[in-house]
Homo-oligomer: A and B are copies of this chain.
Amino acid sequence: MAVKRVTSQDVADYAGVSRTTVSLVLNNVDNIKISPATRQRVLESADTLGYIPDAAAQTLAGRRSRIIGLILTRRPHHIASDVFLTQILNGLFEIVHENGMRLLVDIVEPQHQKEAYLQMARANRIDGILLSGPRADDEALNALEEDGFPAVLIGQLPGANFCSVDVDNRAAARMAVDHLLNLGHTRIACITNANLSYTAAADRLDGYRQALHSRGLAFDPDLVREGDFDVESGYIQMHDLLEKGAQFTAAFVASDALALGAKAALRERGWRIPEQIALVGFDDLPYAQYLDPPLTTVRISAVELARQASAMLFRVMDGDGPACRQITLDTQLIVRKSCGAER
């Protein structure tokens, strides 16, 4: 059943050297001289014996696990249709693999975050942490900071001086709503992408508000709904807007996923897009351009976001570079048919 484990001692015996030498050779420790002949012999021995170092032992002795943790702060069912997440994973794997690392993914309910990832950090299970969807009401983050544990936020948390990679959600939302305003719309509904304790959601809503304000338009709470990550919530909230008789000629839905649901609700009631209702989304998910009509949206390169975040994390872990920085990636309004600007 369980095959006898091959240890570095076995390799050493087989090659007729000490275990130390085996370790030095296999880890390519420079500044220490090993004769080419010995080196060769060790490598061959390791190969023929099929030696694979024990991860736990390496971690214990070397004080690093070569694993980084990606922590998602959501309710589990919220990720079930989260294409943004898959894009993040895509970008992450690239950089993580380049650095010979592995990825531990975990999700923590907004309630009991403390134990969850703080434990992983303090147990040395991971060398660094990427936190997606930081929330203002998160307490464990402070503990992480006090520990001086390498962490990078995907998203932002004003106040805390964490390393973070993000887009300017506020400005991006303003840009999207400005576009609708420029097209002559004055009554614009808004469905947020999530609960407002998520900073991204709050910022996007604020961008919406600012855009209205800059044109002297009043913020009307009756035109605003709070979404909840998934397609269904987009459908539900748009349905509710229509049900309550809200009057609007355009809608800004702060996530493409929800925009897809909202679109379905509109169509169900017979509204034509963009002729009767103009629609703008957020994220530019891979399927946005294939919707009917193609969705006007704010492009965020989630893949790039992930690349930058992980690259930054590795810099923090190596201890070089400025200890903490905030990176803000560009966004871009992608005009397609759903807003009515393009014919």
Contacts and interface: CB of A to CB of B under 8 A. Distances in A.
Give the interface centre of A81, A120, A303 by most chain B CB atoms within 10 Å: A81
Given A55-B125, A102-B120, 19 more contacts: A2-B147, A3-B146, A52-B119, A52-B122, A54-B123, A54-B124, A56-B56, A56-B124, A76-B90, A80-B303, A93-B106, A104-B104, A104-B105, A235-B290, A261-B290, A264-B292, A267-B292, A287-B287, A292-B292
14 contacts: A3-B146, A52-B123, A54-B124, A55-B65, A55-B124, A56-B60, A59-B59, A67-B104, A79-B86, A80-B90, A80-B286, A83-B83, A85-B89, A287-B287
Contacts of A260: 287, 290-291
Copies of this protein in the complex: 2
A87 interface: yes
A174 interface: no
A275 to B, nearest CB: 15
A87 B82 CA distance: 9
Contacts of A287: 81, 231, 257, 260-261, 287
Contacts of A54: 60, 123-124
A187 interface: no
B103 A105 contact: yes
A171 interface: no
Contacts of A90: 76-77, 79-80
Interface in A258-310: 260-261, 263-264, 267, 285-287, 289-292, 294, 303
Closest 10 CB pairs of A and B: A56-B59, A81-B286, A264-B290, A55-B125, A56-B60, A55-B123, A80-B90, A52-B122, A1-B148, A105-B105
A94 interface: yes
Interface residues of A, number: 61
Nearest to A118: B52
B119 A286 contact: no
Nearest to A109: B97
B105 A290 contact: no
A89 B120 CA distance: 19
A212 B107 CA distance: 45
Contacts of A285: 81
Given A52-B119, A83-B81, A89 B102 contact: no
